[in-house]
Every structure is written in structure tokens, then in C-alpha cells.
Amino acid sequence: MAPLAKPQTDNTQTPQFNHWSEGVPEQSDIAHIPGDAGWPVVGDTFKQLADPHGFTQARIEKYGKVYKTYAFGGWNVALIGADANELVLFNRDKIFSSEQGWGPVLDQLFPRGLMLLDFDHHRIDRRALSIAFKPGPMRHYSGALNSGISREVAKWEGPMKFYPAIKELTLDLAADSFLGIPWGPEADRINTAFVDMVQASVAPIRKPLPFTKMKRGVDGRAYLVDFLTKETERRRAQGGGQDMFSQFATATREDGEMLPVDQVVDHMNFLMMAAHDTITSSATALIYQLATNPEWQEKVREEIMTVTGGPDGYDEARPLDYDDMGKLELTEMAFKEALRMIPPVPSMPRRALKDFEFGGYKIPAGQMVGINIYWTHHSEEYWENPHTFDPMRFTPDKVKARHKYAWVPFGGGAHMCLGLHFAYMQVKVLMAQLLQRYRIESVEGYSPEWQAWPIPQPKDGLQVSFKRI
Ligand code: HEM
């Protein structure tokens, strides 16, 4: 296992603010930026929650691609388009803090996760966690994914709501691949605590008052922290398996010291959160597109049959070999197109640590800013017929010809999604297991409404039918 460097303090990179509540610019400092305060007290909070994409479009038409809004108790400056994505995500001049941008949403329940660290500390911890995504461990997860998905998907014949089914399956798979815990009552308890935490992270009441989601989330966190702390110690003493958690638990730094136990626990908690609803949402988006675009479903199935060899007479579906993942090119392009149309993380927050300029406007240090991935993914500036499903947008030539930051479902730069290869792998195994067995159907003209926030999901749970081939 590669030794890891110890975090060093670099004073040139120390943020000017220790917390997002400090040093908030005065309203007069952003008076020159176009935008309005919306309704008294609540600003545009409810408008944004009710229709985030419509709200963004209306603001861009009225004010342009840099505008301010007042919502969730503070001012935010929206920076719109692929150039804005590049400036913020690539973050060449270390202007933007992810820690202080995501802090108000995630700090209470998922403190000190990778997205809540900046610069040197972030880089060193990220390197530590990367060991869990190297080919050896990935090969192991692929075996666990194939057997877990095959077992469950075999029962899916007939009409069903896909979203709740894939959500539950993804939780069970995570207990196995991430934590090394077999499916059963212990995994169920962990899953419940975890779901409570995720729901609390976006709950409107931010104090853990009795009977609130936040209280359930805080209790869930206490349970998981206790469980993961004991398990880290046990795996260190007895040796762990090949699951992600065991990799983190036994990771060492350059000087041979292990990561502190509380950091292992925080990273694990955060990683499970980052993985869960994103995979669930994007797998649902792809199933929706394949159900409503049967010609593409057929092409993806053909590729899967060729690569796996198809059902072998004993089993209904052959596993997708780890070494064959890269051969599912069309499947991957279809997934990328689903991620374009319905990105699981539709916008990303940051806090400016220094004054900067964008689109002709000076924006002061301390300002909360946000980029809008959903808008970029649907803008005619970068995409022809943006509302049509077309996986061929992702041929190497087309990708090369486009702005590098026009398609960023996994973010970019230092904080780019650490688990993106895991996500591709899980979705490819899922497709291989499903499409070898079933034709995915939906009613004529099916077009469910999607809840846009915080992570997209179809309001009806996605009503599809799996018909045996
Ligand atoms: C389709 C599924 C997924 C999508 C769309 C997605 C999207 C993202 C995005 C946009 C970010 C960066 C956010 C920002 O910069 O503000 C991110 C970060 C992250 N993701 Fe994912 N993610 C997915 C799946 C996963 C999975 C499966 C894992 C773990 C196994 C994971 C672990 C992480 C971690 C640890 C970070 C923080 C990285 C850092 O700050 O250095 N994600 N993800």
C-alpha cells in the first residue's frame, strides 16, 4: 500500500475566513451585481425550491449570466455557463472554497468529508482514500456487484416502480462493497441510520428538535459513528476484508502512521452519502431513457449480448467481467447522455476566499457563489436539440470538439468525483443483468415529472415494466 503524506499547514493557502458565517460582504459590496431580493424576508427561497430550472432561466433572461439572488437566508451570486464552470471547478488561483460552500448544507451531518476540506489537507486525504479505487479493490467490488445485482434483478419481472427498488438495492450493495457487511438485519439497521442522516442534511429545520428529521439524522449519525469507530478498531486488530472501509481503516501515511480513527469514520460516512442518491438518481434516469427510446435500448442490449456472450443456458444472464467493463462503449455513452439530461448534482456551491472578476463584474471575497450544471447541460450554446436523448454526442470526436466544462456531472478539478469509476461500474453491471433478461417498457408517451431538488427523482417512482425476453 502506498505511504501517504501527512497534512502540512501552508500559510499562503490559509483562508481569510475560518467559517462561512464570518466576513459575509455587505449588501453595498454587491450592489453593482444585477439581481433583486425577491419577497421580503424569505427572498426567492420558495420560488427556487418550486421550480429551480425555470427560476434560473428567467433570471438569466432578465439579468444575464452573472446575477445575485437572496435565498436560504443569504445572498448568492450565480455564475452561469461552461467558462464559469471551468473557473470555479478548475480553481487555478485557489479562489474558491468547497468547504465553506458546502458547509451550510453538509457540515452538521457529514463534517470533514472530502468536499468539506480544501487545498493541502484535501489533497492529502484524497490521496489516502484513492487506494480504495485502485484496480485490485475495484475488481473485488465488481464481483460483489455482479452477484448482488443478479440475485435481486432476477425477481424484477413485471410492472414496478424502479426508483424505490434501485434505491434499496444500492443500499444493500453498499453495505456489502463499502462496509463488508453481509445483507441482513445489521445492514438494515445501518441503512436506516444512514437514510435518516441523508434526509436530515436537506431538512428545512436545522436544529435537532424532538420529532424532526434533523433529530433523527443526528441520532443516525451517533449510531453510525459508534459502529464505524468500533469497526475501525476491530479491523485494525484483526485485519479487514477487501471492502472500501477496510481499505481506509488500514491506510497509512508516509511515516507509517494510520489515519486517525475519527477521520476514517468521517470519510466513510461522507463517501456513503456521496455515492448513494447519485447512483440511484442516475441509474433511474438511464432506465427512463431506455424505456422511452426502445431503439437505443436495443442497441445497448446488442452490445451487452456481444460482450458478455448472453445467457448461457444455465443462467439467465452472464456476469459482466471486470476486464470487459471498457468494452461497453455504447452503454457508457448512453449513461453519459442520461447524466447530461438529468445530472444528479444540478448545481455546486463555493465560497470566494479572494476578490475575483467574472463576466465583467467584480465579486468580493467572502461571497457565496454557485455554478449551474443543469443549465449548461441543456444550453443550445453547447448542445444541438438539447432535449433529445442522443448517446452519439459522446463519441471521442464530438467530445473533443466541445468546451471541456460543458458536461460536468462529476464536477472537475481537485474535487472531481472520486467514485465516478465505481458509478460507471455499478450502472454497467446493472444494465448487463437487466438487458440480458428483460425488455424495459413504459406506456406510450410516458413522461414523468421529476422532483428537481436536492437530487432528482421521478415523482411517480418511475413506472416501468420488465418483460422477459
Ligand atoms: C453517477 C453518480 C455520481 C455522480 C453524478 C457524482 C457527482 C459528484 C460531484 C458533482 C462531485 C463534486 C462536487 C463538487 O465539486 O462540489 C462529487 C464528489 C465526490 N463523489 Fe461523487 N458522484 C457520483 C457517485 C459517487 C460514488 C459512487 C462515490 C463513491 C463510491 C462518490 C464519491 C465522491 C466523493 C468522495 C466526492 C468528493 C471528492 C472531493 O471532494 O475530492 N461519488 N461527486
Per-residue pLDDT of 207-222, as tens digits, reads: 899 999 999 999 999 9
pTM of the entire structure? 0.95
Mean pLDDT of all residues in the chain?
92
What is the per-residue pLDDT for 254? Answer: 67
Atom of ligand 1 nearest to the CA of 270: 35
Evaluate if residue 8 carries a pLDDT over 60: no
Ligand 1 site, CB within 6 A: 98, 114-115, 126, 271, 274-275, 278-279, 282, 344-345, 348, 409-411, 415, 417-419, 422-423
Output the CA 270–ligand 1 centroid distance in Å: 10
Ligand 1, atom 29, lies closest to the CA of 419
pLDDT at position 15 is: 54
Q: Give the Å distance between the CA of 57 and the centre of ligand 1.
A: 26
- Residue 10 has a pLDDT of 44
Length of the chain: 469
Looking at the CA of residue 126, tell me the nearest atom of ligand 1.
41
pLDDT (mean) for 328-356? 98
Confidence class for position 7, pLDDT limits 50, 70, 90: very low
Confidence of residue 9 (pLDDT cuts 50, 70, 90): very low
Per-residue pLDDT, 11: 42
The CA dihedral of 172, 175, 176, 182, to the nearest 10 degrees, is -80
Task: Give the model's pLDDT for residue 295.
Answer: 98
- Which residue owns the Cα nearest ligand 1 atom 27? 275
**From atom 3 of ligand 1, which residue's Cα is the shortest distance away?**
278
Which of 170, 337, 417, 457 is the pocket-test mutation for ligand 1 (most atoms within 8 Å of CB)? Answer: 417
pLDDT per position as a tens digit, 359-387? 999 999 999 999 999 999 999 999 999 99
pLDDT at 1: 38
Atom of ligand 1 nearest to the CA of 411: 10
Whole-number Å distance between alpha carbons of 462 and 163: 6
117 CA: nearest ligand 1 atom: 40
Q: Give the ligand 1 atom nearest the CA of 422.
A: 27
The closest-lying atom of ligand 1 relative to the alpha carbon of residue 408 is: 10
Percent of the chain with pLDDT over 90: 78
- pLDDT over threshold 90, residue 466: yes
CA of 133 to the centre of ligand 1 (A): 13
Rounded distance from Cα 467 to ligand 1 centre (Å): 33
Residue nearest to atom 24 of ligand 1 (CA): 275
- What per-residue confidence (pLDDT) applies to 255? 73
- The fraction of the chain above a pLDDT of 70, given in percent, is 96
Average pLDDT score over residue span 390-417: 98
pLDDT at 2: 39
Determine the atom of ligand 1 nearest the C-alpha atom of 416. 12
* Distance (Å) of CA 19 to CA 15, 22, 100, 366: 9, 6, 7, 10
Please give the number of the atom of ligand 1 that sits closest to the Cα of 89: 15
Question: Ligand 1, residues 278, 335, 339: which to mutate, most atoms within 8 A of Cβ?
Answer: 278
Gap from CA of 420 to ligand 1 centroid (Å)? 7
Give the residue, by CA position, lying nearest to ligand 1 atom 20.
417
415 near 90, Cβ under 8 Å? no
Express each pLDDT in 280-337 by its tens digit. Answer: 999 999 999 999 999 999 999 999 999 999 998 767 899 999 999 999 999 999 999 9
Q: How many CA within 13 A on the CB side of residue 212?
A: 14
pLDDT of residue 6: 44
Nearest alpha carbon, ligand 1 atom 18: 417
pLDDT of residue 102: 96
